[in-house]
Structure 1
Amino acid sequence: MEQQVKILAVDDRYENLLALNSILASSNYDVISLQSGEEVLRYLLKEPADHIAVILMDVQMPGLSGFETAELIKQRKACQDIPIIFLTALSTSIEHVLKGYHVGSIDYLFKPIHPKMLRMKVDGFVNMHLNHQKIKIQSELLHKRTLDLEETNRKLAEAEEKLKQQNFLLEQWVEERTSELVDAHEKLIKSQEHFKKMFMLSPSLMAIRRLSDLTYLEINESWKQYTGYGDEIIGTTLDLLSAEAGDSMNFSDVIHNCKVKYETKSKEIRTALLSTEIIDIENESCLLEVAVDITESLRFESEMARLAQLNLVGEMAAGIAHEIRNPMTTIRGFLQLFRENDRHMQKEYIPIMLEELDRANEIITEYLSLAKNKQSHQQPENINRIIEMLLPLIQAEAVMSGKHVHFQLKDCPVIQLDDKEMRQLILNMCMNGLEAMSLGGKLRIETYTEAEHVVLLIADEGIGINEEHLEKLGRPFFTTKDEGTGLGLAICYSIAARHQASIEVQSSEKGTTFLIRFPIPAARIQG
């Protein structure tokens, strides 16, 4: 881009510079305002001199005067040809005018300056500068073209000798390219045939539509078979596909594996996974729609989910029946004994029956604790405080069983917790860890912050959990203990779910580690 011509306006009074800028305002050149001779010299050292058309300089300035500045400018070879016009309001004597011409100026104007005259003088110098630049450029171009012409003449002599060889090579190249084009055309025809076979015989529903108006251009056999529409749809814009309820999308855009509904000719609503691509056919943009019908798969998945729920209900019912049957059998036996012997209830038997009834009630209470919709009273709480309150109880249990407990609680932010549920979760986890270890084993309890979570770590040094049992952890009534209902760990998983927490289990022959990650509220992360 050609740099704009510059006019340097030099005056120590700001209002004079404003006046000059107002008089000389033009899109043909750029007026640079400077307030001292020193500023002019610094500017000329940094900027190329061949872009400056003229310098308008006040004579009387603090520091370097206009005359002194002009003398220094003219001493520099690159700036010797820059025209300088002196402006003054102090002295109109011939001595000052002659001194101005002597130091290198080409004109001397007295203030107040006639705006039109100044503008005409500056325009004249700008035109002279532009013409000079054009002549300089044309001279350089002429010199370059002369050199280029000489070089061209030299190369023409060499090129003429090589022309025959190039013509020969060109003929060979044309023959080879012609052969390649013929081969490429044959391959293209085969490729089109293969695409057509794949398109027509694909088990997926496929259609090609004009992108501009979504007119059907081609459909395959699967499309006809599933939708019931044949060639009568060609040339129409009938859109059988619609987004799932609550979704919105533009079917003319590229889509990957989006679930859609489509209506068959017999008014049956089916489900499919839709993918689209924009392709070019005969220089026309088209939309390739590929839909995989998943109606039967969804029905199969729904049925499998129903069967899985029934199976889980059966397992839970069997577990409840097994656990409650034992205390009920004991109570029934005592009652039958009293009936057959026609005796009054003995006082020592009543506590046994009450204990069995309490046991059955406890099993039912624990089972109800698994409910996801159980009301949870969560409030801002620090997990370390809850653990510290449970320390004496956990340590006492460890001492009684000949084991050790190691705590490492790091500073953690306050999160939403239900105090009662967290005590139940921590005690269940710790008691399970203590029971899993032999004498001398160490239970490790740690808390720390990780990314956007507060982490509770409970690790034991037991024999670990078999891999086949890991996936069953947290399932109601599943237990590896000889005694127990199998509801304790399931309750822990339910409590974690109500706190939007995740439980990760790492187990080996050296022990088992439970990592419970509680989310930190977004407001506390930002804070």
Structure 2
Amino acid sequence: MVKSKLFAEVFYQSRIPQVIGDLEYRKPFYNQAFIEFLGYSAKELKNISMSDCSHPEDHEKDEKLFFELLEGKRKDYEVVKRYITKDGQVKTAILNVSYIRDPHTGNAYCLGQLIDLTEKLMIEQALRKEEEKYRLLAEHSSDIIALHEPDSTYLYISPSIKGILGCETEELLGRKPFEYIHPDDRDEVMKKYEKVVSDLVPMRGTYRCKKKDGEYIWLESSLKAVMDKETGQARELISISRDIQQRIETDELLRKSEKLAVIGQMAAAVAHEIRNPLTPIKGFLQLLSSGVENYNPAYTAIILNELNRIETIITEFLSMAKPHTEKMRVLKIEELVKQVVHLVRAGAHIHNKEIILEISAVPEVIGDENSLKQVFVNIIQNALEAIEVNGSVCVTLHTSQDFICIEVMDNGCGVPKELLPKLGEPFYSTKEKGTGLGLMTSYQIIENHKGKINIESEEGSGTKVSLMLPYVEVR
């Protein structure tokens, strides 16, 4: 009957109960879903007529429609009827009957398909339970859950608004949230809101919101658009807002305590670093003041060298600690690197050291020119100090994914792997008289530019320092 193997597989494997037979349903074929629906085995169904499985009260209505199908008055019909399963259970289902004809043989058949209303009712009940569960979650959530029109007008607000802002839900319905956002935060929130509506991408942001008593508190909100499938545009917006005022205050206290801890650590480190050169200075000055004969002038040179070391420590510490305002602007990073290389190249030649510069065209970056110059000078100078006479430092510039990468490679002594994690810590340096403050400052500057520093080194083979800065996207 079903000549196509593919169509036969679809029929027998379908999850919809189906039966197909001639116009009098002689020798019908049942799929597995139909067999399971009635509870009989396939063998048992061969000896049972369709009327035996139907509820007696539905025979008349079903037969009338079936005869209209046979007489050609209709090509299909749909009727709600009851079936009696093998275990005596009564199941209600929608029966769809279609008149079909085999195009090859011209034989006519009837195809019956069932939709179990019991299962549908169970699904509807489950959906109602889900809706009730989500409603309960919204009504009892500590966060503010709100539904908005595309223009941001409130359609629904959860009762938690009362505990957070002191407002009743009825006071805000029909109004827009921008009326309550702090004027300094309004533009930023508006930009994110417009992006959610236009691009249908979820966004998150923090801002200050006015309470009923006029006080402002910090909120964190997530906003998501519900798309209209027909228009492809935002139909509604869902926002979830959380009171983060306590978190903001706690973070501020933590930042202050961290600053105090850092100040204490730095003060201890500076005291330790300064105490070291003071020891020989004090000793030689005591020796000089005692009126010792044959005083060696070399002692004075040592005193001056140690004083210079103290001055260097204090200068680097002050340059790192003093506040300064970064002037961010669009920069041509290749020009900046060229200037720095030209600056330090003369000193390198004096010591028979070479700087090789390899630059390719790269996008622009947003940064502070003086701060970035300070980083480049620190890194290149460190590389020059790590190499011997006739050694070389290679500076390359290229684009890597979302970053511009400035690589400084030397063929110097390298750094042991176990010491790499300590680089960038204050007063830790692989150089004999280094303070580590220069590299620490470089890390801080690059971090302020939303970039990162990566150091790779192998003892005896050299070091590669990669500075990565996000570039400006061309629109």
One-letter code aligned to 2:406: V
| Deviation readout 1:119-146 (Å, 9 max, x if unpaired) | xxxxxxxxxxxxxxxxxxxxxxxxxxxx
- Give the Cα–Cα distance (whole angstroms) in 2 for the partners of residues 499 and 236 of structure 1: 43
Q: Is the 8 A contact 1:503 1:517 kept in 2?
A: yes
Deviation at 1:297, TM superposition (A): 1.7
Instruction: Return the match for 1:512 from 444, 463, 473.
Output: 463
CA 1:344–1:314 in structure 2 vs 1: closer, same or farther (change >3 Å)?
farther
Q: What RMSD, in angstroms, separates the aligned Cα atoms of the two structures?
A: 5.0
Task: Identify the residue that residue 394 of structure 2 maps to in structure 1.
Answer: 446
- Give the Cα–Cα distance (whole angstroms) in 2 for the partners of residues 460 and 389 of structure 1: 19
Task: Identify the residue that residue 187 of structure 1 maps to in structure 2.
Answer: 126
- Give the Cα–Cα distance (whole angstroms) in 2 for the partners of residues 176 and 213 of structure 1: 42
CA 1:161–1:513 in structure 2 vs 1: closer, same or farther (change >3 Å)?
farther
Instruction: Return the match for 1:473 from 423, 430, 445.
Output: 423
- Give the Cα–Cα distance (whole angstroms) in 2 for the partners of residues 165 and 295 of structure 1: 68
Task: Identify the residue that residue 225 of structure 1 maps to in structure 2.
Answer: 163
With normalisation by structure 2, the TM-score equals 0.56
Task: Identify the residue that residue 317 of structure 2 maps to in structure 1.
Answer: 367
Deviation at 1:327, TM superposition (A): 2.4
Instruction: Return the match for 1:207 from 131, 141, 146.
Output: 146
Deviation at 1:372, TM superposition (A): 7.0
| Greater Cα radius of gyration, structure 1 or 2 | 1
One-letter code aligned to 1:410: E
- Give the Cα–Cα distance (whole angstroms) in 1 for the partners of residues 325 and 154 of structure 2: 55
Task: Identify the residue that residue 136 of structure 2 maps to in structure 1.
Answer: 197
Instruction: Return the match for 1:173 from 88, 91, 94.
Output: 94
Task: Identify the residue that residue 431 of structure 1 maps to in structure 2.
Answer: 385
Deviation at 1:322, TM superposition (A): 1.2
Gaps of 5+ in 1: 1-157, 397-404, 436-441
One-letter code aligned to 2:146: A
Deviation at 1:408, TM superposition (A): 4.9
Instruction: Return the match for 2:346 from 385, 389, 400.
Output: 389
CA 1:353–1:482 in structure 2 vs 1: closer, same or farther (change >3 Å)?
closer
Q: The residue matched to 1:332 in structure 2 has which SS?
A: helix
Instruction: Report matched runs for 1:66-465 at 5 Å.
Output: 160=70, 166-167=76-77, 173-174=94-95, 176=115, 178-208=117-147, 214=153, 217-220=156-159, 222-230=160-168, 233=171, 237=175, 239=177, 241-242=180-181, 245-248=184-187, 249-250=189-190, 254=197, 256-277=203-224, 287-337=237-287, 341=290, 346=295, 348=297, 349-370=299-320, 373=324, 381=338, 385-386=342-343, 388-393=345-350, 395=352, 408-410=356-358, 425-432=379-386, 445-451=393-399, 453=404, 455-460=406-411, 464-465=415-416
- Give the Cα–Cα distance (whole angstroms) in 2 for the partners of residues 332 and 388 of structure 1: 39
Deviation at 1:411, TM superposition (A): 5.3
- Give the Cα–Cα distance (whole angstroms) in 2 for the partners of residues 517 and 298 of structure 1: 31
- Give the Cα–Cα distance (whole angstroms) in 1 for the partners of residues 430 and 155 of structure 2: 63
Q: The residue matched to 1:257 in structure 2 has which SS?
A: strand
- Give the Cα–Cα distance (whole angstroms) in 2 for the partners of residues 517 and 210 of structure 1: 43
Q: The residue matched to 2:115 in structure 1 has which SS?
A: helix
CA 1:162–1:520 in structure 2 vs 1: closer, same or farther (change >3 Å)?
closer
CA 1:287–1:353 in structure 2 vs 1: closer, same or farther (change >3 Å)?
closer
One-letter code aligned to 1:225: G
- Give the Cα–Cα distance (whole angstroms) in 1 for the partners of residues 252 and 326 of structure 2: 30
Q: Is the 8 A contact 1:210 1:216 kept in 2?
A: yes
Q: Is the 8 A contact 1:259 1:273 kept in 2?
A: yes
Q: Is the 8 A contact 1:277 1:288 kept in 2?
A: yes
Deviation at 1:291, TM superposition (A): 0.1
One-letter code aligned to 1:305: R
Q: Is the 8 A contact 1:261 1:269 kept in 2?
A: yes
Deviation at 1:361, TM superposition (A): 1.5
CA 1:350–1:457 in structure 2 vs 1: closer, same or farther (change >3 Å)?
closer
Q: Is the 8 A contact 1:499 1:518 kept in 2?
A: yes
One-letter code aligned to 2:244: I
Aligned length: 345
Q: Is the 8 A contact 1:372 1:498 kept in 2?
A: no
- Give the Cα–Cα distance (whole angstroms) in 1 for the partners of residues 417 and 180 of structure 2: 49
- Give the Cα–Cα distance (whole angstroms) in 1 for the partners of residues 172 and 452 of structure 2: 53
CA 1:425–1:159 in structure 2 vs 1: closer, same or farther (change >3 Å)?
same
Deviation at 1:289, TM superposition (A): 3.0
Deviation at 1:368, TM superposition (A): 3.7
Q: The residue matched to 1:289 in structure 2 has which SS?
A: strand
- Give the Cα–Cα distance (whole angstroms) in 2 for the partners of residues 229 and 508 of structure 1: 64
CA 1:356–1:409 in structure 2 vs 1: closer, same or farther (change >3 Å)?
closer
- Give the Cα–Cα distance (whole angstroms) in 1 for the partners of residues 325 and 94 of structure 2: 82
Question: Which structure shows the bigger proportion of residues in helix conformation?
Answer: 1
- Give the Cα–Cα distance (whole angstroms) in 1 for the partners of residues 432 and 345 of structure 2: 31
